[in-house]
A and B are shown apart, each in its own frame.
Chain A
Amino acid sequence: MKLPLYLDYSATTPVDPRVAKLMCDCLTQEGNFGNPASRSHVYGWQAEEAVENARRQVADLINADPREIVWTSGATESDNLAIKGVAHFYHKKGKHIITSKIEHKAVLDTCRQLEREGFEVTYLEPSTEGLISPEQVAEAMREDTILVSLMHVNNEIGVVTDIAAIGEITRAQKVLFHVDAAQSAGKIAIDVESAKVDLMSFSAHKVYGPKGIGALFVRRKPRVRLEAQMHGGGHERGMRSGTLATHQIVGMGAAFAIAQAEMESDNARIDALRQRLWDGVKDMEEVYMNGHATQRVSGNANISFNFVEGESLLMSLRELAVSSGSACTSASLEPSYVLRALGMNDELAHSSIRFSIGRFTTEADIDQAIEQSRNAVIKLRDLSPLWDMYKDGVDLDSVQWAAH
């Protein structure tokens, strides 16, 4: 079976072969398999050295001190540890948290849980371009605010939050600032010193590293305290217990080091590919690129093809592995909450496809994606009564639809 062309790098990335090689060296009897916590023999020492080397590689990418990096199982766990850890440690200081409507579920569901525990959460509304402004954060700030949690780059639409400007506001008010950087690490330069970030979540598998490993940056000066969410041995300075997975950690370190070395060249190439994709479809009528035009990462192109339903579009694009802005898995189809939060109407949200481009995408891949997308959209518009009505000049908003 011929596999579809992979254009879903925002969902996950394949492990870079250079990374996989280093990981394999940490598994078998001949390799570096020891427990990094074993103090009494060379197996443990070697494993510990590999783990600390990786910790430095991750810290280097974001200009942090290696002692500020805590290993976790991924960005979801990092988000949980940061938000619950801060809330549970600082709850006597206040019980108000600020986040946004377009965060990843790892942040939103964690905030919902804290609401059940008695915390209050403000969910900021993004602009129609998907941005949260520093002014919005400043306005939402209260006496009892203890934490602001915002994503650096949005996973669906690829827009970039101005974390440096927001960090100035939170630091001035002595409120902690957590940033989910799962989609930005290795794609845009991050400096946790110049951007006054207190906590930052990372994932390895979005950056050509393995799944199952992530990290949380926890600032030392001024010191950020967390209540641990996982207990059992006091690993990672008591913040996250559990035997460290040497091979995973080595993979994440290597992936971050490669990202740092190759970010500029990767970005230039990927940016050109994204432009090629957009140039290939933008002349069709009623086609829109979602999210801010320039304040964005290079790999993401979230495009709405109006009057075509997303799931049937995906069915036509089965030779492309992309993701849709809607999921028709229940009686009433749910459009993406992110696109909806931008104020986009449901039809347009249903009609959107996220193409995400990465290190191994070629020009030929993009040309194939363009051709297939064009053919699918033309075919489905021929089938679409909405397209007919649009062509006949009917205002679809004026029609009385029988919602079901």
Chain B
Amino acid sequence: MSLTLSKMQVAINGHLAVAGIDTEIAAGEFVGLVGPNGAGKSSFVKAVAGLTPATGAVKFDSIDLRTASPLSLSKTISYLAQINSIAWSVSVRELVALGRLPYGAQSKLTDPIHARAVDTAMSKTNIGKLADRAVDTLSGGELSRALLARALAVEAPILLVDEPIAQLDPYHQLQIMETLRTEARNGVLVIAVLHDLTLAARFCDRLLMLNAGQLEADGTPEHVLTTEHLRRVYRVECIIDKHNDHALVVPWSRIV
């Protein structure tokens, strides 16, 4: 099982946000999508998820995701958006249950299959105790786990997450990254947009580095996070070191 992108291109108001990307990602891989602001990372995941018009081919095995019905697409790809304003003061359980909508679940979760999927997603993200809490009473860390549980409840073979740890403290960043890695180990194809390069190197199997809509580098974190790439793409000098075989990347100074 693998996701194949051929010449995937996204144009937004005449500007090429993603300029023809070819790559293949296997099930079970945890891929970090890195690159500076405006590099096209969000457009990339939205194009894969079918949320924004794109040209080129996006295939999952033999299925062409571009022509798949919205319903089958919603069961194949689970997408966790970057900014989530929650309109109503629903309970955590109701929020997570939204992940079962593609399967025809009602919000009351009368079907035990859906109830089980919701329970599993909540235990994976360790929010079982918060089930009856209203979402507007949660801390930032709790809310991000609840939102991730919503995405996991879809039980889709592909999980796309846009900046899942952007506003979290180190403890909760590690917690979310561990959950995503566990999902990948269980066979889910995970693509996460990330800004923290050290966490990306620590948890991801592979990094795709985007720059101005182009794929600048693709490979293991060690291969992608080089001084040369970081200078050219991020325009920063970084201190790169190693700890337990994982790269440590500390952005140190701007190149002006």
Q: State yes or no: do A and B come from one complex.
A: no
